[in-house]
Chains A and B, each alone.
Chain A
C-alpha cells in the first residue's frame, strides 16, 4: 500500500523513548494556530511558495513540493535501517504528522510491519478521528502520544478550529483500553499554559483515573518563522517563550498531583 508523507526524521529524540525514526504523515483535520508544520495539513502533495531563508540578502521566494507518495515497504526499510539504535536505546518508530490516523489503512500496515520486525511503535495523534480507527491500531501500538490542548471547548474551537468533544471522549475510551497513553500538552504562552487551562487538564486527567504520565512541550519560536516562510497569517502573534522558572512551575503543578512529567517530548 502507498501513503503520503512529508518527512522521515531519523535520530528523533523527542517523540517517545530512546532514539527513534519519526514518519510524518501528510493531512490533518485540525488547524491549530500554533501548528509548526503547516505543510502537514493538506492531505495531498502540494507545491507551496515559501520564502527562501538561505538567501540572507534579498527576500526571494521559491516553490517547493511538499509530500511524497511512498510505499509501506519503502518506509519499513528505512525504519529497519536504524534498528541497532532502537535496540541500544529502547527506541523505535513514531508515526506522527499531520494526523497519521487519517491514512488508517496505511498506518495499520506500517504498525503491523513494525510489530513483525519487533520494532517498538508510537503513534502521535490529535485524537480527532472516529474511535473505531483508534481501536483498529490499539493492538499494534505500544505507545500513544495523545495531544491534549484545551479543555474549554469554546477556546479550543477558536484556536484549533474544531470542538474537543470527540478528542476528550476518545481519550477517555482509549486510556481504558490501552495502558500506555501519554497526553502531550503544547504550552502556548497565554493560551494553553495558563493556570486555568492547565488546572482544567489536570482535572480532566484525574477524572480518567488511568493516566500517570504527562509530557509538556514548551513553546518553540520556530513556528513564527515557519508561518512567515509559508505566508500564513500569524493569528497568535509573536509570543514570548516561557522562561525556565515557568516550566518548572508547570512541572510542579502536575507532579504535585501525582503525575510523572517529562518536558520536551
Chain B
C-alpha cells in the first residue's frame, strides 16, 4: 500500500463518528423557504435534493483519488429530520452510549433544539407511522414480536446494475424526456402524477451533474495551487473526470469508479436508505474498463489498485446513520451494509470471475476495513482458485468476504418470477438478501421473533413478561393431548401476529410512497423512468417485501424438547414444564441437564429435531410468501437476524430448549449456540433441510479454528465443505476464524484489540464495539476444530 493510501486509511480509521447537522440545516432552510408548498411532493423532494447538493460543503482529502463525502468530512454523519427528528435526549444517548456512539457537540445540540426540532417535531415520517398503525401493531411491537425497519430509515435495499457504465445522466435525462413525451393525458388516469414524478427525476439528474462540477471547480483550484507536478497533473485529471461524469458515460476505469461514487453519495444524501446502496457486481462492471485502459496504455495495474483502494476508503468514511431505540438494537453497528459482490456468473450464465475479481480480493485483504462489506458469489462454474483465494482472506480472521451460492440465488429469483437474465445479473446485498440488481426494490420490513410466539402460545395468548393478552386465545396448553394440538395453536398465533405485521407494512408502504418519494434513487432503478413511478411506489420492475424470521434454532429446539419430553418420553407434564420455565430452570437441575445433553437438537443431522425445523419453516413460509404488498409485488421470507436475536432474546423468558431468560436467541439459521455436537458436516446437513430456494436469503455462521485453514490441504477441505453445502442449495455461509481465547482476551483488554473484526451475523464488526451479550454469544458459538 502506498504511503498516501495508508494515510487516508488511518484518517478513516481514526475519525470519530459524530453528528453533523449540515444536511438537516440545509434541508430545513429549504423547507422554510416556502418553495416546497408550491409544487408537488416528488418535485419538492427533488428540489430539496438539488438544494442540498448545491449548498453542502465539499471535501477533498489529501492525496485521495476518488472525491466526495456525504458529510463535511469523514465520519461526519448527517441526520434526516424528515424521517426521524432526534430529541435532545436521543442525542444524549447517541453521544454517551458505550457502543456505536456518535459524538454530539454543544453547537449541534443547540442547533437541533433551536432550528430543527421546532420545524420537524411531529411531522417526521416516524411520527406519521406511529400515529397511523393499529393498536394491535403497537402492542406486538412493544412486546418485541417484531421490529419495523422503515420507522427510522428509508426503504432502500437495492443495488445498482451496470447501467451507469453505459449511460451518463444526460442520457437518463433524455430517457425521462422520452417517457414524458409518451404520457397519455387522455386515457391514463395516472398521467399527471407520472409527469410530476418524471419532472422530479429530471431535476435530480441536473442536481448530481451540478454537484460533480462543483467538485471539478474545486479540484481545478487545488491543481492550480499545487506545487508538486505529479499531484498537479493528477488533480487536473480528476477535475476533468468530474466534468465528464456523471453527465456522460465513463470511458476509463477511474471515471467509472468516480461516477459510481457520485451516484452513491446522491442516494445516501437523498434519504437514509437501509443497506445504503452499492455497486453490486463490481468485478464484472470494472473489468472491461480495466482491460481497455491497460491495452490503451493509460493505466497500470499499480494505478488501478491505488484507485480501487482510494474508493474502498470512501465507504469506510460513511458510518450508517444514527439509530435509536429498538432500531438501534436490531442493527447495532456502524456498518451500512454495502455488500460488494464478486464472482458468480455472467448474463449468459458463464463463469464471471476475471482479473478484477482477484484484484478486488487483494484490496479487501489489504485494506481490512469495516466498510464496504464484501462477498464472493460461488457457482459450480467458478474455479476452485477463486474459492481458495477467498478462504485465504477469511483465514486471516477478519470475517470477510462472505460466501454465497450463485446456484441458489438464481433459482430463488426465478421462483419469485424474475427473468433468468435479471437473476444472473443479481446477487445478494445487505446481510444475505437476494435481489435483482438495478431492477428490484426488496424491502426488509422487520424482524420477526418466532420463539416469542411460542412463549405466548404456552400462555394462551398472554405475554408473561407484561401479563397482557396480546395474542389470540388458543387454549390452555395443559389441555393439549398431542404435540399436533400444541403445534396448531402455535401456528394460529403465528398467523395472527404475521397478519398484524403485514397490515402494518401496507400502511407504512403507503406513507413512504405518498410523503417521501425518492426521485433520485428511482431514476437508477428500472423501470421507474419507463413507468413514471417512484421507487417507493412500485416503480421498480420487481417489488418484494420481506419479513425476516429470527430464532430458527431456538424455536426448533424448543418445540422438539416439548415433543420429546412431554409427549414422547413423558419426562414431565406441561404444567411442570411451564413451572420450570417460569423459574428459569432453578430447582430443575436434573431436567436442565437432560435438556442440555439428552434431548435431540437442530444442527446434528438428526431428523427428530430437523423435522420440526421443516414444519416451522413451512408455517412461516406459508403465512407470508405470496401475500401482496401495495406496490404490485409480494411478501417473501428470509431468515437472518443482524443483531436482533440479542434484542429478541432480551424480551423472551426461559424457552423450552433450556435457553435461560433474557439470553440471546439463536442467530440466522445457525444452531443454538453449543447445541451442535457433531461437527460442521452435520450442521450443514441440518441447515440444508431448510428449503433455501423458497427464501430470499438465509444466514449461516460457522466458527473455525485458524489451524484448520493453516495449510493448503485444510483450505481445500473447507472449500469442499462449502461446495457440498452449496450443492445442497445452501444460500450463504460465513466463517469466523478466530480462537475463543483471542476473543476472551479482547473482552478483557479491549484497548489492545480495537482492530479485531469478527463476523456477527451477515456482516462484520469490530469485536470491541459489540455489546457484552453479543460478545459472549460469539465466544460461545461452537468452535469447530479438526481432528
Chain A residues at the B interface, C-beta cutoff of 8 Å: 9-15, 18-19, 22, 81-82, 84-85, 88-89, 91, 264-265
Q: How far is the CA of A14 from the CA of B727 in the complex (A)?
A: 23
- Contact assessment for B714 and A88 in the assembled complex, using a CB-CB cutoff below 8 Å: no
What are the residues of chain B within 8 A of A22 when measuring CB–CB? 787
Listed stretches B55-63, B161-169, B674-682; interface member = B674-682
CB distance from A80 to the nearest CB of B (A): 11
Known contacts A18-B717, A81-B605, A85-B720: does B787 contact A10 (CB below 8 Å)?
no
Q: A14-B787, A81-B605, A81-B685 are in contact. Are A88 and B723 (CB under 8 A)?
A: yes
Q: A9-B787, A13-B787 are contacts. A18–B720 as well, Cβ < 8 Å?
A: yes
Residues in A with CB closer than 8 Å to B714 are 13
Query: Which residues of chain B come closer than 8 Å to A264, judged between CB atoms?
Result: 713
* Contact indicator B681/A19 (Cβ below 8 Å): yes
* Least CB separation from B784: chain A residue: A11
- CB within 8 Å for A19 and B720 given contacts A10-B679, A85-B681: yes
Given A84-B724, A88-B723, A14 and B681 touching (CB < 8 A)? no
Among A11, A12, A15, which residue has the most Cβ atoms of chain B within 10 A? A11
Question: Is there contact, CB below 8 Å, between B724 and A11?
Answer: no
Instruction: Beyond the given A14-B786, A88-B723, please list 14 additional residue pairs across the A-B interface where CB-CB is below 8 A.
Output: A10-B678, A11-B680, A11-B681, A13-B713, A14-B787, A15-B787, A19-B724, A22-B787, A81-B682, A84-B685, A84-B727, A85-B681, A88-B724, A89-B717
Q: Which residues of A contact B605 (CB under 8 A)?
A: 81
Q: Is the CB of A19 within 8 A of B717?
A: yes
What are the nearest 3 A-B pairs in CB distance? A89-B720, A11-B679, A88-B724
CB distance from B669 to the nearest CB of A (A): 18
Closest Cβ of chain B to A178, distance in Å, is: 24
Per-residue contact bits, chain B 748-787, to A (CB 8 Å; 1 contact, 0 not): 0000000000000000000000000000000000001011
Contact between chains at A82 and B723 (CB < 8 Å) = no
Cα A85 to Cα B688 in complex, Å, equals: 13
Least distance between B609 CB and chain A CB atoms (Å): 14
A-B contact pairs, 14 of them (CB 8 A): A9-B787, A11-B681, A13-B713, A13-B714, A13-B787, A14-B787, A15-B787, A19-B681, A22-B787, A81-B605, A85-B721, A85-B724, A88-B724, A264-B713
Q: What residues of A have a CB within 8 angstroms of the CB of B723 in the complex?
A: 88
Q: Which residues of B contact A10 (CB under 8 A)?
A: 678-679, 681-682
A19 touches B728 (CB 8 A): no
Q: A13 contacts B681, CB within 8 Å?
A: no
Which chain B residues border A18 with CB–CB below 8 Å? 717, 720
Docked Cα-Cα span, A88 to B784, in Å, equals 20
Q: Which residue of A is nearest B728, CB measured?
A: A84
A82 to B716, CA, bound (A): 17
Main secondary structure of the interface of B (DSSP, over half): helix
- Find chain A residues with CB under 8 A from B784 CB: 11
- Determine if B724 and A89 form an interchain contact, defined as CB atoms under 8 angstroms apart: yes
Which one of A12, A82, A88 contacts B787 once the chains associate, using CB atoms below 8 Å? A12
Task: Give the residues in chain B near A84, CB-CB below 8 Å.
Answer: 685, 724, 727-728
Q: B721 contacts A19, CB within 8 Å?
A: yes
Output the least CB separation between A93 and chain B (Å): 13
> Chain A residues with Cβ under 8 A from B716's Cβ?
89
Question: Which residues of B pack against A, CB within 8 Å?
Answer: 605, 678-682, 685, 713-714, 716-717, 720-721, 723-724, 727-728, 784, 786-787
Could you say which of A10, A85, A264 has the most chain B C-beta atoms within 10 Å of its C-beta? A85
Task: Name the B residues within 8 Å of A91 (CB-CB).
Answer: 720
- Give Cα distance in the complex from A14 to B605, angstroms: 22
Question: Which residues on the B side are within 8 Å of A85 (C-beta)?
Answer: 681, 720-721, 724
Closest to A11 in B: B679
How distant is the Cα of A89 from the Cα of B716 in the complex, in angstroms?
9
Whether the Cβ atoms of B724 and A9 lie closer than 8 Å is: no
B727 cross-chain contacts in A, Cβ below 8 A: 84, 88
Complexed CA–CA distance, A88 and B605 (Å): 18
Closest to B682 in A: A10
B378 to chain A, nearest CB (A): 13
Please, which residue of chain A has its CB at the minimum distance from the CB of B722? A88
Nearest CB on B from A53, distance (A): 15
Contacts of B713 in A (CB 8 A): 13, 264
**A9 and B720 within 8 A (CB):** no
A46 to B374, CA, bound (A): 51
Q: How far is the CB of A60 from chain B (nearest CB, A)?
A: 16
User: Once the chains are docked, how many angstroms separate the CA of A91 from the CA of B717?
Assistant: 10
* Nearest CB on A from B582, distance (A): 29
> Are A88 and B720 in touch, CB under 8 angstroms?
yes
* Cα-based distance from A22 to B678 in the complex (angstroms): 12
B682 / chain A contacts, CB cutoff of 8 Å: 10, 81
A-side contacts of B681, CB under 8 Å: 10-11, 19, 82, 85
Shortest beta-carbon distance, B677 to chain A, in Å? 10
Q: How far is the CA of A239 from the CA of B605 in the complex (A)?
A: 39
- Inter-chain CA distance A89–B728, complex, in Å, is 14
Chain B residues with CB under 8 Å of A19's CB are 681, 717, 720-721, 724
Instruction: Please report the C-alpha to C-alpha distance between residue A264 and residue B713 in the assembled complex, in whole angstroms.
Output: 10
Shortest beta-carbon distance from B729 to chain A in Å: 11
Q: How far is the CA of A22 from the CA of B679 in the complex (A)?
A: 12
- In the complex formed, the residue of A with least CB distance to B605 is A81
CA distance A221 to B456 in the complex (A): 51
CB contacts (< 8 Å) of B680 on chain A: these are 11
Chain B residues, CB < 8 A from A11: 679-681, 721, 784, 786
> Considering only CB atoms, which chain A residue lies closest to B719 in the complex?
A89
Q: Which residue of B lies closest to A9 (CB)?
A: B787
Q: Chain B residues with Cβ under 8 A from A82's Cβ?
A: 681, 685
Chain B nearest CB: distance from A52 CB in Å?
15
Docked CA distance A105–B364 (Å) = 55
Q: In the bound complex, what is the Cα–Cα distance between A89 and B721 (angstroms)? A: 8
How far apart are the CA atoms of A84 and B723 in the complex, in Å?
A: 10
A18 to B724, CA, bound (A): 12
With a cutoff of 8 Å between Cβ atoms, the chain A residues found around residue B685 in the complex are 81-82, 84
Chain A residues near B721 (CB-CB < 8 A): 11, 19, 85, 89
Q: Could you tell me the distance between the alpha carbons of A147 and B761 in the complex, rounded to whole angstroms?
A: 44
- Output the least CB separation between B72 and chain A (Å): 52
Least Cβ distance of B644 to chain A in Å?
Answer: 30
What is the CB-to-nearest-CB distance from B429 to chain A, in angstroms, rounded to a whole number? 28
User: Chain A residues with Cβ under 8 A from B787's Cβ?
Assistant: 9, 12-15, 22, 265
Q: CA A91 – CA B724 in complex, angstroms? A: 12
A81 / chain B contacts, CB cutoff of 8 Å: 605, 682, 685
- Residues of B with C-beta under 8 A to A89: 716-717, 720-721, 724
CB distance from B358 to the nearest CB of A (A): 24
CB distance from B784 to the nearest CB of A (A): 7
Contacts of A265 in B (CB 8 A): 787
User: Cβ of B678: which chain A residues have Cβ within 8 Å of it?
Assistant: 10
Q: Of all chain B residues, which has the CB nearest A265?
A: B787
Q: Look across to chain B and name the residue whose beta carbon is closest to the beta carbon of A264.
A: B713
Per the bound structure, the CA–CA distance linking A164 and B605 in Å amounts to 42
| B residues less than 8 Å from A9 (CB atoms) | 679, 787
Chain B nearest Cβ from A89, distance in angstroms:
3
CB distance from B733 to the nearest CB of A (A): 14
